[in-house]
Amino acid sequence: MVGLRRGAPAGAVVLLAASAAVAAPPPASRYDLSGEWTGAFNVTDGPTQTERVMIYQSGDNLRAVKITGDRNVPAGKETFHAVYSADRFPGQQQCAGIGFTHPSWSPMTVVVKDATHFQILGACGMAEADWSRLGKPTLALDDAILFDTAKFVLKPEASHAIDDMAALIAAKHPKARLTVNGFTDDVGGDAYNRGLSKKRARSVADALAARGVARARLAVEGYGKARPRFPNVNDDSRAHNRRVEIEVEE
């Protein structure tokens, strides 16, 4: 599945640098696809299958990380990525043999229907895949990148990810209430992890407030190792569970 590409697109940087300017509204069809999705797809040699992914959106860059692993691509691996440039746009899907052997990228086409539905066409032997949103839009940050181990102070290199998130909030959710939720992997005690996750969530909320997101719109929660999004079965999955997510309440 998809891994977060941290480089900020030029549009996002300009938006943050010119904080006094009013950003032009995005095209009506350009949605925020961030969050958890479930897909049903047909393969050439078997029945319809289903899976779940977490989509990360940074500017127009999309990447999806597999939540439900299978015999070809395990949980925690990037499964597709693309640049969301129109209602229909090209991307690349991760293809691999059994046991994640010989992984490679295959061309695909994404067709966005609305804020809660899209299709993937022509990747890895699939005729098509229909995807539906699960729950609310959720803007996810991977704090394996944002924080050092056992720390809650944001690393300097995390600033680009926070810039991208603030720009996405300004463009897509300018009036929404936001809950910043912190999580850890399954290593360590419950009380320690709950405290660390809340401190990390608060650090992200502080950084967003410094970038112009009103404090009154930001709530903070820490869940520790409860509510893992990915199974804690390998290093990739654990890294994605050490995360901060922003739940959007429109």
> Could you read off the pLDDT of 101-111 as tens digits, one per residue?
999 999 999 99
Start-end ranges of CATH 3.30.1330.60 in the chain?
Answer: 138-249
How high does pLDDT run on average in the chain? 84
Which one-letter DSSP state was computed for residue 143? H
pLDDT value, residue 22: 41
Tell me the two tokens of residue 96: 């691999």
Could you report the per-residue pLDDT of 103-158, keeping only the tens digit for each?
999 999 999 999 999 999 987 877 688 999 999 999 998 777 888 888 899 999 89
Name the one residue in this structure whose structure tokens are 């199974």: 231
Tell me phi and psi for residue 10, to 5 degrees.
Answer: -55, -40
Question: What are the residue ranges of CATH 2.40.128 in the chain?
Answer: 10-134
Q: Alpha-carbon distance 247 to 146, whole Å?
A: 18
Higher pLDDT, 213 or 14: 213
Question: Which top CATH class is 138-249?
Answer: alpha beta
Residue type, 22: V
Of 142, 178, 173, the C-alpha closest to 157 is 142
Quickly name the fold that domain 10-134 has. Answer: Lipocalin (2.40.128)
Kindly tell me if the per-residue pLDDT of 89 is higher than 60: yes
pLDDT category at 70 given cuts 50, 70, 90 is confident
Q: What is the mean pLDDT of residues 185-212?
A: 95
Q: Identify the band that residue 44 occupies on the pLDDT scale cut at 50, 70 and 90.
A: low
Which tokens belong to 133?
A: 């949103």
Q: What is the DSSP letter of 217?
A: G
Which helix (H) or strand (E) segment holds residue 172: the answer is helix 159-172
Q: Which residues have C-beta within 8 Å of that of residue 122, sequence separation ≥ 6? A: 107, 108, 109, 128
- Check pLDDT > 50 for residue 202: yes
Confidence class for position 165, pLDDT limits 50, 70, 90: very high
Per-residue pLDDT at 91 exceeds 70:
yes
Higher pLDDT, residue 25 or 51: 51
